């Protein structure tokens, strides 16, 4: 094997070993990342949570994210995540289990991304 072939083989091995397990690049992923980036850039380090049903009351009786839970059983929060940076978190209230919004299943991200603008308005109103 020539040194060029060996180099290519080693490069491919390194790329394979270091590739991400999940690619977060859907439309909803970009919306969530951009929204988080705006909040981070603005320097807002105040926790804020809203029930999903309070963000859009017209859809309060519908399930959320394709789950069996209604919208009043979920919170979207801007809060410190695991003692580190502030992030958007989705919490299932009955089970009290929060998860980074960006890492939730696609249907949850799709439903939540449609609510982020209204979430931002209510967040802003909380300062007034």
Could you report the per-residue pLDDT of 71-126, keeping only the tens digit for each?
999 999 999 998 888 999 999 999 999 999 999 999 999 999 999 999 999 999 98
On the question of pLDDT at 2 being above 80, the answer is no
The DSSP bridge partners found for residue 77 are: 49, 89
pLDDT of residue 108: 95
Confidence of residue 21 (pLDDT cuts 50, 70, 90): low
d(CA 71, CA 50): 11
Domain boundaries, position 13: 3-125
Domain count, the chain: 1
| pLDDT at 69 exceeding the cut of 70 | yes
Backbone angles phi, psi at 27, to 5 degrees: -55, -45
What count of Cα atoms within 13 Å lies in the side-chain half-sphere of residue 21? Answer: 1
66 Rama sector, left if φ>0, alpha if ψ -120 to 50, beta otherwise: left
């Amino acid at each position: 094997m020539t040194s060029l072939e060996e180099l290519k083989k080693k490069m491919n091995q390194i790329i394979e070993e270091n590739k991400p397990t999940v690619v977060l690049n859907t439309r909803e992923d970009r919306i969530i990342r951009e929204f988080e980036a705006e909040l981070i850039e603005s320097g807002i380090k105040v926790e804020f949570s809203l029930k999903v049903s309070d963000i859009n009351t017209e859809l309060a009786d519908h399930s959320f994210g394709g789950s069996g839970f209604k919208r009043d059983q979920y919170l979207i929060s801007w809060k410190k995540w695991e003692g580190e940076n502030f992030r958007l978190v989705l919490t299932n209230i009955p089970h009290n289990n929060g998860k980074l919004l960006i890492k939730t299943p696609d249907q949850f991200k799709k439903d939540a991304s449609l609510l982020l603008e209204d979430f931002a308005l209510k967040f802003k109103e909380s300062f007034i």
